[in-house]
Amino acid sequence: MSEGAGRPVAFFDLDRTLLRRSSALALAGSFRAHGVIGRGQLAKAAAWQLIFVARGVSAEAVRKASEEGMMILEGFRVDDLRRMVASAMEPVLKPLVYSDPLELVQRHKERGEPVYIVSATLQEIVEELARELGFHGALGSTCEIEDGVYTGVSLRACHGEGKAAAVRELAAREAIDLAASTAYSDSHTDLPFLEAVGNPIVVNPDRKLGRIAAERGWPVLEFSELAFPVVRRLWPALVGIPLALGAGAAVWAAHRCLSGGRAA
Protein backbone atom coordinates (compact mmCIF):
# COMPACT_ATOMS: atom_id res chain seq x y z
CA MET A 1 0.00 0.00 0.00
CA SER A 2 1.46 3.35 -1.03
CA GLU A 3 1.53 5.97 1.70
CA GLY A 4 1.72 9.71 1.24
CA ALA A 5 2.21 9.27 -2.49
CA GLY A 6 -0.52 11.65 -3.59
CA ARG A 7 -4.23 12.27 -3.22
CA PRO A 8 -6.80 9.79 -1.92
CA VAL A 9 -9.48 8.32 -4.16
CA ALA A 10 -12.55 6.10 -3.73
CA PHE A 11 -12.97 2.73 -5.46
CA PHE A 12 -16.38 1.10 -5.90
CA ASP A 13 -16.97 -2.53 -6.82
CA LEU A 14 -19.77 -2.90 -9.38
CA ASP A 15 -21.95 -5.99 -9.01
CA ARG A 16 -23.93 -6.13 -5.73
CA THR A 17 -22.17 -2.96 -4.53
CA LEU A 18 -23.05 -0.24 -7.03
CA LEU A 19 -25.62 -2.38 -8.86
CA ARG A 20 -28.25 -4.66 -7.34
CA ARG A 21 -27.07 -7.65 -9.38
CA SER A 22 -24.66 -8.68 -12.11
CA SER A 23 -24.22 -6.15 -14.88
CA ALA A 24 -23.46 -8.88 -17.41
CA LEU A 25 -26.53 -10.82 -16.31
CA ALA A 26 -28.66 -7.73 -16.80
CA LEU A 27 -27.34 -7.38 -20.34
CA ALA A 28 -28.11 -10.99 -21.26
CA GLY A 29 -31.08 -10.07 -23.44
CA SER A 30 -29.06 -7.55 -25.42
CA PHE A 31 -26.12 -9.93 -25.86
CA ARG A 32 -28.47 -12.61 -27.13
CA ALA A 33 -30.21 -10.19 -29.52
CA HIS A 34 -26.87 -9.07 -30.98
CA GLY A 35 -25.58 -12.59 -31.47
CA VAL A 36 -22.82 -12.48 -28.86
CA ILE A 37 -24.21 -15.63 -27.24
CA GLY A 38 -26.62 -18.32 -28.36
CA ARG A 39 -29.73 -19.83 -26.83
CA GLY A 40 -27.93 -23.04 -26.00
CA GLN A 41 -25.24 -21.18 -24.09
CA LEU A 42 -27.90 -19.40 -22.05
CA ALA A 43 -29.48 -22.69 -21.04
CA LYS A 44 -26.15 -24.18 -19.96
CA ALA A 45 -25.23 -21.05 -18.01
CA ALA A 46 -28.51 -21.03 -16.08
CA ALA A 47 -27.50 -24.02 -13.97
CA TRP A 48 -24.16 -22.47 -13.08
CA GLN A 49 -25.84 -19.24 -12.02
CA LEU A 50 -27.59 -21.08 -9.17
CA ILE A 51 -24.18 -21.56 -7.58
CA PHE A 52 -23.11 -18.00 -8.39
CA VAL A 53 -26.22 -16.43 -6.82
CA ALA A 54 -25.67 -18.52 -3.70
CA ARG A 55 -22.15 -17.05 -3.55
CA GLY A 56 -20.63 -20.51 -3.49
CA VAL A 57 -18.08 -19.88 -6.23
CA SER A 58 -14.37 -19.86 -5.46
CA ALA A 59 -12.16 -16.97 -6.49
CA GLU A 60 -10.14 -19.26 -8.77
CA ALA A 61 -13.28 -20.50 -10.55
CA VAL A 62 -14.45 -16.95 -11.15
CA ARG A 63 -11.02 -15.89 -12.40
CA LYS A 64 -10.89 -18.74 -14.91
CA ALA A 65 -14.46 -18.06 -15.97
CA SER A 66 -13.70 -14.42 -16.63
CA GLU A 67 -10.60 -15.24 -18.67
CA GLU A 68 -12.01 -18.13 -20.69
CA GLY A 69 -15.27 -16.31 -21.29
CA MET A 70 -13.39 -13.70 -23.31
CA MET A 71 -13.31 -16.27 -26.11
CA ILE A 72 -16.97 -15.51 -26.76
CA LEU A 73 -16.02 -11.97 -27.81
CA GLU A 74 -13.78 -13.13 -30.64
CA GLY A 75 -14.70 -11.28 -33.84
CA PHE A 76 -17.06 -8.82 -32.14
CA ARG A 77 -16.40 -5.13 -32.82
CA VAL A 78 -15.62 -2.91 -29.84
CA ASP A 79 -17.73 -0.04 -31.20
CA ASP A 80 -20.70 -2.37 -31.60
CA LEU A 81 -20.40 -3.50 -28.00
CA ARG A 82 -20.18 0.07 -26.74
CA ARG A 83 -23.31 1.01 -28.72
CA MET A 84 -25.12 -2.03 -27.37
CA VAL A 85 -24.28 -1.11 -23.78
CA ALA A 86 -25.25 2.53 -24.36
CA SER A 87 -28.64 1.50 -25.75
CA ALA A 88 -29.24 -0.70 -22.70
CA MET A 89 -28.23 1.97 -20.18
CA GLU A 90 -31.63 3.56 -19.48
CA PRO A 91 -33.95 0.53 -19.71
CA VAL A 92 -31.65 -2.14 -18.26
CA LEU A 93 -28.63 -0.95 -16.28
CA LYS A 94 -29.63 2.28 -14.54
CA PRO A 95 -32.70 0.72 -12.86
CA LEU A 96 -30.26 -1.57 -11.00
CA VAL A 97 -28.17 1.27 -9.51
CA TYR A 98 -28.37 1.78 -5.75
CA SER A 99 -28.92 5.34 -4.56
CA ASP A 100 -26.65 5.02 -1.49
CA PRO A 101 -23.36 4.63 -3.38
CA LEU A 102 -24.22 7.57 -5.64
CA GLU A 103 -24.60 9.70 -2.51
CA LEU A 104 -21.21 8.47 -1.32
CA VAL A 105 -19.72 9.25 -4.73
CA GLN A 106 -20.93 12.83 -4.38
CA ARG A 107 -19.40 13.14 -0.89
CA HIS A 108 -16.04 11.90 -2.14
CA LYS A 109 -16.18 14.36 -5.02
CA GLU A 110 -16.95 17.23 -2.65
CA ARG A 111 -13.77 16.32 -0.74
CA GLY A 112 -11.83 16.47 -3.99
CA GLU A 113 -11.40 12.70 -4.23
CA PRO A 114 -11.67 11.08 -7.68
CA VAL A 115 -14.00 8.07 -7.85
CA TYR A 116 -13.52 4.87 -9.84
CA ILE A 117 -15.53 1.74 -10.59
CA VAL A 118 -13.42 -1.43 -10.30
CA SER A 119 -14.94 -4.65 -11.60
CA ALA A 120 -14.25 -8.04 -13.19
CA THR A 121 -16.76 -7.06 -15.86
CA LEU A 122 -15.38 -6.20 -19.30
CA GLN A 123 -13.53 -2.85 -19.38
CA GLU A 124 -15.73 -1.32 -22.09
CA ILE A 125 -18.91 -2.10 -20.16
CA VAL A 126 -17.52 -0.64 -16.93
CA GLU A 127 -16.32 2.48 -18.77
CA GLU A 128 -19.79 3.16 -20.16
CA LEU A 129 -21.34 2.85 -16.70
CA ALA A 130 -18.66 5.06 -15.14
CA ARG A 131 -19.26 7.74 -17.77
CA GLU A 132 -23.03 7.62 -17.32
CA LEU A 133 -22.89 7.77 -13.52
CA GLY A 134 -20.29 10.51 -13.24
CA PHE A 135 -17.24 8.54 -12.14
CA HIS A 136 -13.78 9.74 -13.06
CA GLY A 137 -12.69 6.40 -14.44
CA ALA A 138 -13.02 2.62 -14.45
CA LEU A 139 -10.93 -0.53 -14.17
CA GLY A 140 -12.27 -3.76 -15.64
CA SER A 141 -11.17 -7.00 -17.24
CA THR A 142 -9.56 -6.47 -20.61
CA CYS A 143 -9.61 -8.42 -23.84
CA GLU A 144 -7.06 -8.04 -26.62
CA ILE A 145 -8.24 -5.77 -29.44
CA GLU A 146 -6.87 -5.71 -32.99
CA ASP A 147 -8.16 -3.26 -35.59
CA GLY A 148 -11.17 -2.47 -33.40
CA VAL A 149 -12.15 -6.14 -33.03
CA TYR A 150 -11.89 -8.41 -29.97
CA THR A 151 -9.53 -11.35 -30.48
CA GLY A 152 -10.92 -13.36 -27.56
CA VAL A 153 -7.57 -13.31 -25.74
CA SER A 154 -7.77 -12.21 -22.10
CA LEU A 155 -5.20 -9.59 -21.10
CA ARG A 156 -6.30 -8.73 -17.57
CA ALA A 157 -8.71 -10.50 -15.25
CA CYS A 158 -9.72 -7.75 -12.82
CA HIS A 159 -10.76 -10.13 -10.05
CA GLY A 160 -9.26 -11.23 -6.75
CA GLU A 161 -5.53 -10.45 -6.67
CA GLY A 162 -5.85 -9.09 -10.22
CA LYS A 163 -8.28 -6.45 -8.98
CA ALA A 164 -5.87 -5.32 -6.29
CA ALA A 165 -3.01 -5.28 -8.80
CA ALA A 166 -5.03 -3.07 -11.16
CA VAL A 167 -5.65 -0.61 -8.31
CA ARG A 168 -1.97 -0.53 -7.38
CA GLU A 169 -0.96 0.02 -10.99
CA LEU A 170 -3.39 2.94 -11.24
CA ALA A 171 -2.07 4.35 -7.97
CA ALA A 172 1.52 4.28 -9.24
CA ARG A 173 0.51 5.86 -12.53
CA GLU A 174 -1.75 8.58 -11.11
CA ALA A 175 0.08 9.37 -7.83
CA ILE A 176 -2.72 8.02 -5.63
CA ASP A 177 -2.26 7.60 -1.88
CA LEU A 178 -3.78 4.16 -1.29
CA ALA A 179 -3.30 4.40 2.48
CA ALA A 180 -5.70 7.36 2.50
CA SER A 181 -8.07 5.88 -0.09
CA THR A 182 -11.38 4.06 0.32
CA ALA A 183 -12.73 0.88 -1.28
CA TYR A 184 -16.27 -0.53 -1.21
CA SER A 185 -17.19 -4.17 -1.93
CA ASP A 186 -19.62 -6.96 -1.05
CA SER A 187 -17.62 -10.15 -1.65
CA HIS A 188 -14.89 -12.04 0.19
CA THR A 189 -13.23 -12.62 -3.19
CA ASP A 190 -12.50 -8.88 -3.15
CA LEU A 191 -10.48 -9.13 0.06
CA PRO A 192 -7.18 -8.25 -1.72
CA PHE A 193 -8.93 -5.24 -3.25
CA LEU A 194 -10.18 -4.08 0.15
CA GLU A 195 -6.80 -4.69 1.77
CA ALA A 196 -5.10 -2.54 -0.90
CA VAL A 197 -6.49 0.65 0.69
CA GLY A 198 -6.42 2.21 4.11
CA ASN A 199 -10.20 2.57 4.42
CA PRO A 200 -12.01 -0.64 3.40
CA ILE A 201 -15.81 -0.52 3.67
CA VAL A 202 -18.01 -3.58 3.33
CA VAL A 203 -21.37 -3.35 1.55
CA ASN A 204 -24.16 -5.95 1.66
CA PRO A 205 -21.48 -8.54 2.51
CA ASP A 206 -21.57 -12.26 1.87
CA ARG A 207 -21.24 -14.41 4.97
CA LYS A 208 -17.47 -14.83 4.82
CA LEU A 209 -16.76 -11.14 4.24
CA GLY A 210 -19.21 -10.27 7.01
CA ARG A 211 -17.18 -12.37 9.44
CA ILE A 212 -13.91 -10.81 8.29
CA ALA A 213 -15.35 -7.31 8.65
CA ALA A 214 -16.50 -8.06 12.20
CA GLU A 215 -13.09 -9.46 13.14
CA ARG A 216 -11.22 -6.47 11.72
CA GLY A 217 -13.65 -3.77 12.77
CA TRP A 218 -14.39 -2.66 9.22
CA PRO A 219 -17.50 -0.54 8.63
CA VAL A 220 -20.47 -2.41 7.15
CA LEU A 221 -23.11 -0.65 5.04
CA GLU A 222 -26.44 -1.94 3.74
CA PHE A 223 -27.65 -0.65 0.38
CA SER A 224 -31.26 -1.30 -0.64
CA GLU A 225 -32.86 1.77 -2.25
CA LEU A 226 -32.59 2.10 -6.02
CA ALA A 227 -31.60 5.43 -7.54
CA PHE A 228 -33.70 5.32 -10.71
CA PRO A 229 -37.33 4.22 -10.99
CA VAL A 230 -38.10 1.31 -13.27
CA VAL A 231 -40.46 2.43 -16.01
CA ARG A 232 -40.15 -0.42 -18.45
CA ARG A 233 -37.55 -2.80 -19.85
CA LEU A 234 -36.84 -3.49 -23.50
CA TRP A 235 -35.89 -7.08 -22.67
CA PRO A 236 -37.23 -9.44 -20.01
CA ALA A 237 -35.01 -9.92 -16.99
CA LEU A 238 -33.14 -13.16 -17.47
CA VAL A 239 -32.71 -14.02 -13.81
CA GLY A 240 -30.49 -17.05 -13.40
CA ILE A 241 -28.72 -16.63 -16.76
CA PRO A 242 -25.14 -15.35 -16.44
CA LEU A 243 -22.59 -14.29 -19.03
CA ALA A 244 -18.87 -14.69 -19.28
CA LEU A 245 -18.33 -10.93 -19.39
CA GLY A 246 -18.93 -10.42 -15.67
CA ALA A 247 -17.43 -11.75 -12.48
CA GLY A 248 -18.20 -15.44 -12.37
CA ALA A 249 -20.90 -15.29 -15.02
CA ALA A 250 -19.30 -17.54 -17.56
CA VAL A 251 -20.62 -19.86 -20.20
CA TRP A 252 -17.45 -21.93 -20.05
CA ALA A 253 -17.73 -22.30 -16.29
CA ALA A 254 -21.33 -23.36 -16.75
CA HIS A 255 -20.25 -26.02 -19.20
CA ARG A 256 -17.77 -27.38 -16.70
CA CYS A 257 -20.36 -27.44 -13.97
CA LEU A 258 -22.89 -29.28 -16.11
CA SER A 259 -20.32 -31.76 -17.37
CA GLY A 260 -19.15 -32.63 -13.89
CA GLY A 261 -16.00 -30.54 -13.93
CA ARG A 262 -14.76 -28.46 -11.01
CA ALA A 263 -16.42 -25.04 -11.26
CA ALA A 264 -16.26 -24.05 -7.63
Report the distance separating Cα 143 and Cα 153, nearest Å.
Answer: 6
* Domain assignments of the chain as residue spans, ordered by start: 10-258
pLDDT exceeds cutoff 60 at 244: no
pTM: 0.81
- Which residue type occupies 40? G
**Average pLDDT for residues 45-64, to the nearest whole number?**
51
Architecture of domain 10-258: 3-Layer(aba) Sandwich (3.40)
The answer to whether the CB of 177 falls within 8 A of the CB of 4 is yes
Reply yes or no on whether 147 is catalytic.
Answer: no
Report the distance separating Cα 193 and Cα 99, nearest Å.
Answer: 23
Report the distance separating Cα 216 and Cα 252, nearest Å.
Answer: 36
Report the distance separating Cα 170 and Cα 4, nearest Å.
Answer: 15
Q: Which of 13, 100, 186, 190 is catalytic?
A: 13
How many CA atoms are closer than 13 Å to the CA of 36, on its beta-carbon side? 29
Mean pLDDT comparison of 83-97, 199-213, 218-232, 240-254, highest-scoring range: 199-213
Structural element, H or E, at residue 202: strand 199-203
Reply yes or no on whether 13 is catalytic.
Answer: yes
Alpha helices in the chain (DSSP H): 23-26, 28-33, 39-53, 59-69, 78-88, 99-110, 123-133, 161-174, 191-195, 207-216, 251-258
- The percent helix, strand, coil of the chain (3-state, each to 5) is 45, 20, 35
Q: Which of 15, 100, 186, 206 is catalytic?
A: 15
Report the distance separating Cα 71 and Cα 82, nearest Å.
Answer: 18
Note the pLDDT of residue 70: 73
